[in-house]
C-alpha cells in the first residue's frame, strides 16, 4: 500500500483537486468543433452548444474509448468519429446511430465538469471529495476594473506545473535569466528577499530594490483557485500608462506538461488605452514572447526530480512558502479521501 506521504507528494505533483483551472482561450471553444485537452492527467473535451453554453466531459467515448475530441458537434452534443455514438454535455449517451434501440442510450457514462468563462479564458472545475460542488471562482480585481486593459497569452510548457509556479515565486531570476530583455535588465544582481503574509496569500519581494525591475510577486490563494501577479516597471519608451502587470495562472496538464495563462495588463484609460493596444500588438508582444521563451526553455531543461537534489538558499523563501501551501492542501485532500475510502 502506498503510504500517506507519497500520496500527498503525488497529489501535489498531479495538481490539487477542488480547484478551478483555466484550460483554453474563450475563442478556442466553439460550437462547430470540439477542443480536446488535458487537466490533472485526465483527458477532457470542451465545446459549446447551440446557445453558446460551455460543455466539458471526459474525452473518452463510452463505446470503446476513442477520443471524443476527434469527433463532431451535432445539435449541441458531441458525436464520436469512430462509430458515431452521440454523447451530451452531461456525459449521457443520447444516441447510438449504428444500432437501433441500443441499451447504451440514456446511460450516464462519463463525468462532466463545471465550466465557466471570464476575461477571455475558459475555466474548468476539478471536484474533490471535500468540495464536489464548485466554490466561487475568485478573479483578479483588475478583470472587473475599467482602469485596466489587457491581453491573454497562453502557452503549453513541457514541464511539471510546479516548476512554472516556482518560477513565478522567484523574482530574483529576472535580472539573470532575462538580463538581455527590454526592461528586466535594470537593477542590481544581488539582494535579499522578504516574505510577507497578505490577506489572501503572500508577497515575496526583493529587499533592496523597489520599482526597478521584476521586484516582487504576490500570490492569492482562494478556496477554489489560485493566481499570482507581478509588476514590471516600464520606461517612457513603452508608451502611455502605468506599470505593466502580469497576472499568472498555471494549470497542471500531465506529469510533465502544464499550461500557463498570462494576462498582460496595463493601467490605461481613454486614448491611452487604444495607443497601448496598438503599441502592444505592433511592438511589445514579440519582446514578451522572447522573455517567456527564456522561462520555458530553462524550466523544460530541468530534471523532473530536481527537488531531490536542490539546495535552496535565502532567495527561495517564496518557493518554499508555495510548496508548503500546496502540500498542506494536498494533505487535507488525501486525508479526506482516505477517510471516505475507510468508511
Ligand atoms: S468508440 Fe466511439 S463510437 Fe465506437
Ligand atoms: Fe521569468
For ligand 1, whether the C-beta of 64 sits within 6 Å is yes
From the CA of 315, how far away is ligand 1's center (Å)? 52
From the CA of 18, how far away is ligand 2's center (Å)? 28
From the CA of 200, how far away is ligand 2's center (Å)? 23
For 43-70, the pLDDT digits (tens) are 999 999 999 999 999 999 999 999 999 9
Residue given cell 500557463 in the structure block? 260
From the CA of 294, how far away is ligand 2's center (Å)? 7
pLDDT > 70 fraction of the chain, expressed in percent and rounded: 96
Mean pLDDT score, 309-319: 96
* Least confident among 11-25, 73-87, 160-174, 185-199: 185-199
Confidence class of residue 239 from pLDDT cuts 50, 70 and 90?
A: low
Please answer whether residues 165 and 257 qualify as being in contact, where contact means their C-beta atoms are separated by less than 8 angstroms: no
From the CA of 124, how far away is ligand 2's center (Å)? 26
CB burial of 235-266 (b: ≥16 within 10 Å; e: otherwise) equals eeebbbbeebbbbbbbbbbbeebbbbbbbbbb
For residue 23, what is the DSSP state? Answer: E
- Residue 263 CA: distances (Å) to CA of 83, 146, 293: 41, 15, 16
Taking CA atoms only, the protein residue closest to ligand 1 atom 4 is: 83
What is the number of the ligand 1 atom nearest to the C-alpha of 85?
3
Ligand showing the shortest atom-to-Cα distance for residue 86: 1
Confidence class of residue 241 from pLDDT cuts 50, 70 and 90?
A: low
Mean pLDDT score, 78-100: 97
Residue given cell 490577506 in the structure block? 199
Choose the most confident range, by mean pLDDT, from 144-148, 203-207, 211-215, 235-239: 203-207
Rounded Cα–Cα distance for residues 11 and 9 (Å): 5
Please answer whether residues 241 and 233 qualify as being in contact, where contact means their C-beta atoms are separated by less than 8 angstroms: no
For ligand 1, whether the C-beta of 66 sits within 6 Å is yes
From the CA of 167, how far away is ligand 2's center (Å)? 7
Segments of the chain assigned to CATH 3.90.380.10: 141-328
From the CA of 172, how far away is ligand 1's center (Å)? 51
Backbone angles phi, psi at 314, to 5 degrees: -50, -35
For ligand 1, whether the C-beta of 85 sits within 6 Å is yes
What is the number of the ligand 1 atom nearest to the C-alpha of 62?
2
Q: Which residue has the higher pLDDT, 183 or 54?
A: 54
Q: State yes or no: pLDDT of 1 exceeds 70.
A: no
pLDDT for the residue numbered 295: 96
The DSSP-derived string for 53-102 is -EEEEES--TTT---GGGSEEETTEEE-TTT--EE-TTSBEEE-TTSTT-
Choose the most confident range, by mean pLDDT, from 117-126, 241-250, 272-281: 117-126
User: Residue 56 corresponds to which cell in the numbers above?
Assistant: 466539458
* Least confident among 154-158, 289-293, 323-327: 289-293
Nearest to 160, CA basis, from 257, 251, 248, 37 = 257
Which ranges constitute the DSSP H helices of the chain?
Answer: 4-14, 161-168, 174-177, 270-279, 285-301, 306-309, 317-342
Taking CA atoms only, the protein residue closest to ligand 1 atom 3 is: 83
For ligand 1, whether the C-beta of 31 sits within 6 Å is no
Taking CA atoms only, the protein residue closest to ligand 1 atom 1 is: 64
What is the number of the ligand 1 atom nearest to the C-alpha of 83?
3
Q: Which residue has the higher pLDDT, 232 or 71?
A: 71
Phi-psi region at 308: left, alpha or beta (left = phi > 0; alpha = psi -120 to 50): alpha
Alpha carbon 322 to its chain centroid, in Å, reads: 15
Find the radius of gyration of the CA atoms of the chain.
Answer: 22
Segments of the chain assigned to CATH 2.102.10.10: 13-126
For ligand 1, whether the C-beta of 80 sits within 6 Å is yes
The DSSP-derived string for 136-151 is --PPPGGGG-TTEEEE
For ligand 1, whether the C-beta of 238 sits within 6 Å is no
Mean pLDDT score, 131-160: 94
CATH class name, domain 141-328: alpha beta
Fold type of domain 13-126: Rieske Iron-sulfur Protein (2.102.10)
pTM for the whole thing? 0.95
Mean pLDDT score, 310-335: 97
Mean pLDDT score, 335-340: 96
Mean pLDDT score, 185-210: 90
Kind and range of the H or E run holding 255:
none
Amino acid at each position: 500500500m502506498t503510504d500517506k506521504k507519497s500520496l500527498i507528494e503525488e497529489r501535489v505533483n498531479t495538481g490539487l483537486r477542488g480547484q478551478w483551472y483555466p484550460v483554453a482561450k474563450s475563442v478556442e471553444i466553439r460550437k462547430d468543433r470540439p477542443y480536446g485537452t488535458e487537466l490533472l492527467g485526465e483527458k477532457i473535451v470542451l465545446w459549446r452548444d447551440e446557445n453558446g453554453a460551455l460543455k466539458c466531459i471526459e474525452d473518452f467515448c463510452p463505446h470503446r474509448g476513442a477520443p471524443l475530441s476527434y469527433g463532431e458537434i451535432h445539435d449541441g452534443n458531441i458525436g464520436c468519429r469512430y462509430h458515431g455514438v452521440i454523447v451530451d454535455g452531461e456525459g449521457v449517451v443520447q444516441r447510438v446511430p449504428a444500432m437501433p434501440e441500443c441499451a447504451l442510450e440514456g446511460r450516464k457514462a462519463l463525468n462532466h465538469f463545471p465550466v465557466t468563462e471570464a476575461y477571455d479564458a475558459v475555466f474548468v472545475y476539478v471536484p474533490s471529495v471535500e468540495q464536489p460542488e464548485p466554490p466561487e471562482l475568485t478573479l483578479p480585481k483588475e478583470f472587473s476594473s475599467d482602469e485596466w486593459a489587457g491581453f491573454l497569452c497562453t502557452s503549453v510548457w513541457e514541464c511539471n506545473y510546479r516548476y512554472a509556479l516556482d518560477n513565478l515565486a522567484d523574482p530574483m531570476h529576472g535580472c539573470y535569466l532575462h538580463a538581455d530583455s527590454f526592461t528586466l535588465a535594470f537593477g542590481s544582481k544581488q539582494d535579499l528577499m522578504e516574505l510577507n503574509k497578505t490577506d489572501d496569500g503572500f508577497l515575496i519581494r526583493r529587499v533592496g530594490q523597489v520599482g526597478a525591475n521584476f521586484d516582487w510577486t504576490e500570490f492569492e490563494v482562494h478556496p477554489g483557485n489560485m493566481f499570482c501577479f507581478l509588476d514590471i516597471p516600464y520606461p517612457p519608451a513603452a508608451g502611455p500608462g502605468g506599470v505593466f502587470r502580469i497576472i499568472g495562472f498555471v494549470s497542471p496538464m500531465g506529469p510533465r506538461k502544464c499550461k500557463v495563462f498570462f494576462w498582460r495588463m496595463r493601467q490605461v484609460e481613454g486614448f491611452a488605452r487604444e495607443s497601448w493596444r496598438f503599441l502592444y500588438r505592433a511592438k511589445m508582444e514579440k519582446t514578451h514572447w522572447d522573455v517567456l521563451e527564456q522561462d520555458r526553455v530553462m524550466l523544460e531543461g530541468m530534471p523532473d526530480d530536481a527537488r531531490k537534489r536542490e539546495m535552496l538558499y535565502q532567495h527561495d523563501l517564496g518557493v518554499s512558502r508555495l510548496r508548503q501551501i500546496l502540500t498542506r492542501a494536498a494533505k487535507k485532500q488525501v486525508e479526506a479521501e482516505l477517510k471516505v475510502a475507510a468508511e
